[in-house]
Chain A
Amino acid sequence: MDLLSDLFLAKAAFIGIVFAITLGIAAYSTYFERKIAAFMQDRIGPDRAGPFGILQPLADAVKMFMKEDFIPANSNKWLFIAGPCLSMLTALMTSAVVPFGDTVTIGGVTFDLQGIDVNIGILWVFGIVSLGVYGILIGGWASNNKYSLLGAIRAASQNISYELAMGLAIIAILLFTGSLSTKAIVEGQQNGHWNIFYQPLGFIIFLICAFAECNRTPFDLPECETELIGGYHTEYSSMKLGFYLFAEYINMFISGAVMATLYFGGYDYPGIDFVTAQFGNNIAVFVGMGALIGKALLFVFVFMWVRWTLPRFRYDQLMGLGWAGLIPLSMYNVVVTAFGILIGKPFTAGIVGVVLLILGLLIHDQLFVKKKIA
């Protein structure tokens, strides 16, 4: 490939912008996490650094860099350093296949607002998310601390368990699209045919799995303070700890973007034809990019909202929910979706599937479950 072609430069600029947006949003997620927590607890939250505390992430970053960068004596030094780097790397890599917008033409160059449009886009997401476990696992193992190791093992087993249900939820989406390309998935949802309407059950499964994959409450057992001190990052300090925390927020934003892509029509928004007719294609596409980021941020809010509402699961509850709850549920979802596509009425099939499921559970409940006495 010609390194100085216009397309290459345009793509490079776009990837740089996506990186900047991702990092900026991740930085400000820490601020909004604290603000939202405060509002939900009838407090004000950080308001000292700058107006409304808007400079708080900057102050936090300065603090993180100033802290002593401590490496435990008996740790595996290189892996100890590699852990947070890997976490950060994998967190940032996922955004490559998220389609931020349709095709734009700027200065005679026509290109997609997407890092790379590979035809295995969603598999790429899965591969990178699975790799993300290594960051935690390596960091926890290299710390030479039993609490870190326990946290890391928990993270690994939790991620593996929930990836299954997540994958099965996505298979139902792939049945619709017939393609693994994220771009194709989004294009199949244009003009309001969002997958959420056809896949309500699949979306709930995917959402729950996304919580587990991001190690967020109620599934934040890898860093369960009451049991594991700090979990996999017990021994970490300074910016290496910062990287782990930062990677978590990046993952939140990216998983929000992936959920928007898979279920909420990606860069589709109501009135896209009107905007195209009034202001031209480029403006419409950039508004679409804003719509996608807005949807992703909405999910980030939901992540935080849940965090400050729900307590943590017990470990056996976590495993029970994953293996005995979500995996059968997602298999059922795949069967229902396939049946709906077979008879040519996916929307009806989705609704009927949910109704049948609830009815079946109710009947099972009436017949086989011992009732409370009082």
Chain B
Amino acid sequence: MKLSNRTKVMEQGEMTLAERMYLPAIVGGMATTLKHFFSKPVTIRYPEQKRYLGPIFRGQHILKKDEQGAERCTACGLCAVACPAEAISMVAAERIPGEEKLYREEKYAKVYEVNMLRCIFCGLCEEACPKEAIFLRHDTMVPVFNSRDEVIYGKDKLVEKMDQRYLRDGWK
């Protein structure tokens, strides 16, 4: 008496006639490949066609502005501390009167740089940010670069443009 009585005896005898003639199996296999021959390819022609990668894909960084167009970042440095790859560096500056339209709070990041060669796109900066200022956008990837001076992204490339604001699925 075995434990379950469901043991399969796997001893193999001779192959049956159909198996020894190969032909039925060959015809079956060829039918399978012919079926795939007429089925739709699953290929995405990448540079021309892009696949939707989901609402939380971690792509290129963006420094958000608020509805009035003022930068949210206060240069607190929590993102730089959280960054495991030490890709983020910044220089803080104090807002002077008259700049209230540009920066939301009294302190702002004069320089904000992400080294894209170091960045591992983990998204910890996004989680660390108390001001909801930095995000990894789900719809844009960091493009291929050919020389090292294209690698460090400053505020010119990171700050959100007001005419093409970044909206993630689920935001209003």
Residues of chain A having any CB pair with chain B under 8 Å: 36, 38-44, 47, 305-306, 308-310, 361-362, 365, 369-374
Residues of chain B having any CB pair with chain A under 8 Å: 8-14, 16-17, 21, 26, 29-30, 32-34, 36-43, 45
Asked if B30 and A305 sit within 8 Å, CB to CB, the answer is: yes
From B17, B26, B43, give the contact of A365 (CB < 8 A): B17
List residues of chain A with CB within 8 A of the CB of B30: 305-306, 309
Asked if A39 and B13 sit within 8 Å, CB to CB, the answer is: no
Q: Taking A309-B30, A310-B26 as contacts, is the C-beta distance between A370 and B43 under 8 angstroms?
A: no
A371 to B19 alpha-carbon distance, docked (Å): 12
A170 to B26 alpha-carbon distance, docked (Å): 24
Asked if A373 and B13 sit within 8 Å, CB to CB, the answer is: yes
From B10, B33, B41, give the contact of A374 (CB < 8 A): B10
A370 to B39 alpha-carbon distance, docked (Å): 41
A6 to B31 alpha-carbon distance, docked (Å): 50
List residues of chain B with CB within 8 A of the CB of A374: 8-11
Q: What is the total of A-B residue contacts with beta carbons within 8 Å?
A: 63
Asked if B37 and A373 sit within 8 Å, CB to CB, the answer is: no
Asked if A371 and B14 sit within 8 Å, CB to CB, the answer is: yes
A65 to B37 alpha-carbon distance, docked (Å): 33
The B interface, classified by DSSP as helix, strand, loop or mixed, is: loop
Q: Taking A306-B30, A310-B26 as contacts, is the C-beta distance between A44 and B45 under 8 angstroms?
A: yes
Asked if B41 and A310 sit within 8 Å, CB to CB, the answer is: no
List residues of chain A with CB within 8 A of the CB of B40: 42
Closest Cβ neighbor of A47 among chain B residues: B45
Asked if A41 and B36 sit within 8 Å, CB to CB, the answer is: yes
Asked if A39 and B9 sit within 8 Å, CB to CB, the answer is: no
Closest Cβ neighbor of B10 among chain A residues: A374
List residues of chain A with CB within 8 A of the CB of B21: 361
Closest Cβ neighbor of B39 among chain A residues: A42
Residue pairs across A and B with Cβ atoms less than 8 A apart, 10 shown, are A39-B36, A40-B36, A42-B36, A42-B39, A43-B41, A44-B41, A44-B43, A306-B30, A369-B14, A371-B13
Asked if A40 and B37 sit within 8 Å, CB to CB, the answer is: yes
A362 to B38 alpha-carbon distance, docked (Å): 36
A38 to B71 alpha-carbon distance, docked (Å): 50
List residues of chain B with CB within 8 A of the CB of A365: 16-17
Asked if A42 and B42 sit within 8 Å, CB to CB, the answer is: yes
Closest Cβ neighbor of B19 among chain A residues: A372
List residues of chain A with CB within 8 A of the CB of B17: 361-362, 365, 369
Closest Cβ neighbor of A366 among chain B residues: B17
Asked if B13 and A372 sit within 8 Å, CB to CB, the answer is: yes
Q: Give min CB distance, A306 to chain B, whole Å.
A: 7
Q: Taking A42-B39, A305-B34, A309-B29 as contacts, is the C-beta distance between A373 and B45 under 8 angstroms?
A: no
List residues of chain A with CB within 8 A of the CB of B10: 374
Asked if A36 and B45 sit within 8 Å, CB to CB, the answer is: no
Closest Cβ neighbor of A321 among chain B residues: B22
**Other A-B pairs, 12, CB within 8 Å; known A38-B41, A369-B17:** A39-B36, A39-B38, A39-B41, A42-B42, A43-B41, A47-B45, A305-B37, A306-B30, A369-B13, A372-B12, A372-B13, A373-B11
List residues of chain B with CB within 8 A of the CB of A305: 30, 33-34, 37
Asked if A370 and B41 sit within 8 Å, CB to CB, the answer is: no
Asked if B37 and A39 sit within 8 Å, CB to CB, the answer is: yes
